[in-house]
Chain A
Amino acid sequence: MKEIYLDNNATTKVDEAVFEEMRPYFCELYGNPSSMHFFGGQVQSKVNEARGRVAELLGASPDEIIFTACGTESDNAAIRSALEVFPDRRHIITSRVEHPAVLTQCRNLRQKGYRVTEIGVDGAGRLDMDELNAAVDDDTVIVSLMWANNETGVIFPVEEAAAIAQSKGALFHSDAVQAIGKIPINMAASTIDMLSLSGHKLHAPKGIGVLYLKRGTPFRPFMVGGHQEKSRRAGTENAAAIIALGKACQLAGQYMDAENTTVKAMRDRLQDALMAVVPHARINGGGAERLPNTTSIAFEFVEGEAILLHLSEFGICASSGSACTSGSLEPSHVLRAMGVPFTCAHGSIRFSLSRYTTDAEIDTVIREMPPIIARLRQMSPFGREHLKGQA
C-alpha cells in the first residue's frame, strides 16, 4: 500500500537530492574534517559549504551556526548555557505549549530551585503577551518560546517576545524546528539570541540539528572535549548529515514560496472540505496565524487513535492529540492549555503536509475521512446521543 504521508511535523522524507549529496561521505570521502591531510580537508570544505547554506536560509553568518545532533540537544544546550552564563539569575520563562524538549527541562530545573513561569495561551493558541510582560523581571535568565507550535502550527510573535525579554537583560531562545523551512526567517534583522533547528523536519536525515547563536551572545558549551564548532560543541562532526542539512536548507529556500502557496492551498482545501462535511468539528488554533502546512481538527465524540488506525487502512498517515496515541493517559498538553474541552481533545487529528503532498492525496483524505468519523460516532454512545436526528 502506498503511503499518503501527512505527518510531516513528526518527520519528513529525505529529499533524493539531499541523499545524493551526502552519499559519498560514508564509504568514499570518509575523512575526518579536522585531519591535516588532503583527505580530511576535502570533507572540511564541504562542511564549510553546508554551514554557509544553513546560514543563508536563516539570514545568519556561518560563524553563528553550531551543528548539534538534534533539535532537542540544541534546546538543552541553549537553556543550560544561559544558566551558566548568568548564575545569579534564577527565573526561567517558557510557555505551557512548548515541546517537551524545552518544557521537561524547565520543569526539571524547578526541582533544582529555579523559578519557572509557564506563560499561557488563549483559546486559539496565541501567547498571552500581557502575562509575558508581567513575568519578565531582573531575575529572569532566559525566555524560551517556540516559533511555531508542532501540534497546531500556531505562530508566536517571537521578535516581540525577544524584545520584552531583553529589556530586562534576559537571553531569548526560540525552538524554531517547526518554523524553519516553512516560513521565512531572517536572523540578521532579529534580536533573538539563540534558535534551534532540526534537520529531519525539513527533508534532511534524523540525527542532525543546529543551534544558532547570535554573534556576541555569551555561551557555555553543553558538550566539551574537543575543538569542533569552535569549541562550542565538542565531538567529531557528523559530516555526511551536516552536508545533507546544507543541501536541505538550500532546497528549503528554493521551495519557500511553494510552501506558502501550493502547500498552503492544499492544507486550506483539506480543512475547508472536512469542516463543510463533518458536523461537530473545529480547527484547533483556527483563529490564529499558523504555519502553512499544518491543520489540527477536533472531531467531537470520537477518539483519535481509532480515527488514525482507520485512516491507516487507506495508507493515510496523520497524528493525534489524543491520550491513547501517546504514552500518557491525558490528551495533549497543548490542546489542554488552549482550553479545548476533553470532549474534543481526544478526537483531535493533525495533518501536516509537505512539498511532496499531491492534490490526489488530499482528495483521498477528503473522501475517506468523513465516513470514518460517521462510523465511529455511530459506535460511540455520545455520538449517538448528540447527533440524534441530525444528518
Chain B
Amino acid sequence: MWDYTPIVKDHFLNPRNVGDIPDADAVGEVGSLACGDALKLYLKLDENKDRIVDAKFQTFGCASAIASSSALTEMVKGKTLDEALAVSNQDIADFLGGLPEEKMHCSVMGQEALEVAILKYRGMDIPLHDGEHDQGPAYPDYEGEIVCKCFGITDAFLKKVIETNGLTTAEQVTNFTKAGGACGGCIPKIKELIAQVLGEAATQTRVRPEKLSNMKKMQLIQEVLERDIRPLLWADGGDLELIDIDGSKVQVAFRKACAGCASSGNTARMVEIKLRDLVAEDIVVEEVSQ
C-alpha cells in the first residue's frame, strides 16, 4: 500500500472543486484513458481577465492523481495567471505534504494541465500528439522528438522535467513522467537526456560576481547549494542542509548517507571549493552536527 499523507487521503476522499465550468475562460487537458490517468482543468477569470476566480477539475486516475488535481485547484484560486504559471509540480506535492516518489508524475500532470490551460488561453497552439498502439496522447507536444513511444513523451518535455526537478536517474524520470515505465525501451535515451541536462548545466559559463550585497550573497549561496551541490550528493544517497550563513561563514549539516560518513570532511571541502568558485573567494564552509 502506498504511504499517502493524511492531506493526500483527505483530498482523495473529499476532493475540492470537482466538476466543470461551462463558461470557463481557460481549459487544459492532459493524459488519456489509455495512459491510466487524465486531467481536465477549467479556469474562470475575473473581469480584467487576469486573476483566477474559480477552478474546477475532472480526473481519471489513482488516488494521488485525484488529490493532486484537487490541491491544484485550491492553490491557483485567487492567483494571477502569471502567479499560477509559477506553480511547480513540487509546489503541488508540497501542498499535499509530499507524494511517494513513484507518484510524482501525478503532480507533473497537474502542473502540465495548468500550463496548457494558461498558454492556450494566451493564444498558443498546443497540439496533443498520439502515442503508439492504443496508448493515446499523453502530454502536450513540446515540438520535440518522441522518446517514450508507449506514453508519447517528447525529449523537450523530459528535459524540462529533469531540469526543473533536478533529476539524476532514469528511475526518477520514470517516477516523474512515466516515461520508460512500460516497455523500458527508451531508458538508454532517458539516461542520455539526463547527461545532456547535467552537462548543459555544468558547461554554462558562470562567472563569479565582482561585488555582492549580503542579501545577494546569501541568495547565491543557496542557489549553488540547490543546483550544483545537492544533486551530486543525492546521486550517492547523501544530502546536506544549510544551517546558517554568517557573512562568509557557511554552516552546513550532512544528512542521509553523508551524515557520519568518514569522508564528509572531503565533501565539506568540495562544497567550499564550489562556493568559492561561484560565489565569493573568502567563503569558509563549516560542518555542524545539528
Contacts and interface: CB of A to CB of B under 8 A. Distances in A.
Interface of A: 301-306, 309-310, 313, 322-325, 327-331, 341-343, 346, 378-384
B43 to A, nearest CB: 15
A381 B37 contact: no
A382 B178 contact: no
Interface string B138-175: 00000000000011000000000000000000000010
Nearest to A383: B60
B66 interface: yes
9 contacts: A303-B37, A306-B66, A325-B62, A329-B151, A329-B182, A342-B135, A381-B29, A381-B39, A381-B59
Which of A329, A341, A342, A384 has the most C-beta atoms of chain B within 10 angstroms of its own C-beta? Answer: A329
Interface string B22-36: 000000010001101
Contact of B60 (A310, A327, A329, A381): A381
Contacts of A313: 13
B53 interface: no
Given A301-B33, A303-B36, A380 B134 contact: no
**7 closest cross-chain pairs (CB), A and B:** A329-B181, A324-B62, A305-B62, A380-B60, A381-B58, A342-B34, A381-B40
B102 A379 contact: no
Contacts of A302: 60
B232 interface: no
B36 A329 contact: yes
A343 B37 CA distance: 10
Given A304-B62, A330-B182, 16 more contacts: A302-B60, A303-B37, A305-B2, A306-B62, A306-B65, A313-B13, A324-B62, A329-B182, A341-B134, A342-B135, A379-B58, A379-B60, A379-B66, A381-B40, A381-B60, A384-B20
A309 B4 CA distance: 11
A328 B62 CA distance: 13
A305 B63 contact: yes
Nearest to A380: B60
Which of B13, B18, B60 has the most C-beta atoms of chain A within 10 angstroms of its own C-beta? Answer: B60
A342 B182 CA distance: 13
B12 interface: yes
Contacts of B150: 330
Nearest to A305: B62
Given A306-B63, A330-B150, A342-B135, A324 B36 contact: yes
B61 interface: yes
B174 A379 contact: no
B38 interface: yes
A306 B9 CA distance: 11
B63 A309 contact: yes
B59 A346 contact: no
B15 A382 contact: no
Interface residues of B, number: 32
Nearest to B18: A379
A330 B135 CA distance: 10
Contacts of A310: 13
A40 B37 CA distance: 58
Interface string B245-263: 0000000000000000000
B63 A379 contact: no
B289 to A, nearest CB: 36
Which of B20, B33, B39 has the most C-beta atoms of chain A within 10 angstroms of its own C-beta? Answer: B33
Mostly helix, strand, loop or mixed at chain B's interface? mixed
A346 B181 contact: no
A322 B62 contact: yes
Nearest to B179: A329
Contacts of A383: 60
Contact of A342 (B40, B63, B66, B134): B134
Given A323-B36, A346-B36, A303 B182 contact: no
Contact of A382 (B12, B60, B63, B174): B60
Interface in B35-83: 36-40, 58-63, 65-66
B174 A329 contact: yes
B36 A322 contact: yes
A343 B34 contact: yes
Contacts of B134: 341-342
A309 B61 CA distance: 12
Nearest to A313: B13
Contacts of A384: 20, 58
Nearest to A309: B63
Contacts of B40: 381
A170 B62 CA distance: 44
B60 A303 contact: yes
Given A306-B12, A329-B174, A330-B182, A343 B63 contact: no
B257 to A, nearest CB: 23
Contacts of A303: 36-37, 60-62, 65
A320 B133 CA distance: 23
A306 B36 contact: no
A382 B65 CA distance: 15
B99 to A, nearest CB: 12
A301 B18 CA distance: 16
Contacts of B63: 305-306, 309
A380 to B, nearest CB: 4
A331 B62 CA distance: 13
A342 to B, nearest CB: 4
A278 B219 CA distance: 57
A383 B40 CA distance: 12
Nearest to B63: A309
A380 B58 contact: yes
Contacts of B33: 301, 342-343, 346, 382
Interface string B170-199: 000010001001100000000000000000
A315 to B, nearest CB: 14
Which of B20, B34, B36, B39 has the most C-beta atoms of chain A within 10 angstroms of its own C-beta? Answer: B36
A305 B63 CA distance: 7
Contacts of B36: 303, 322-324, 329, 331, 342, 346
Which of A302, A305, A384 has the most C-beta atoms of chain B within 10 angstroms of its own C-beta? Answer: A305
Contact of A328 (B12, B37, B60, B181): B181
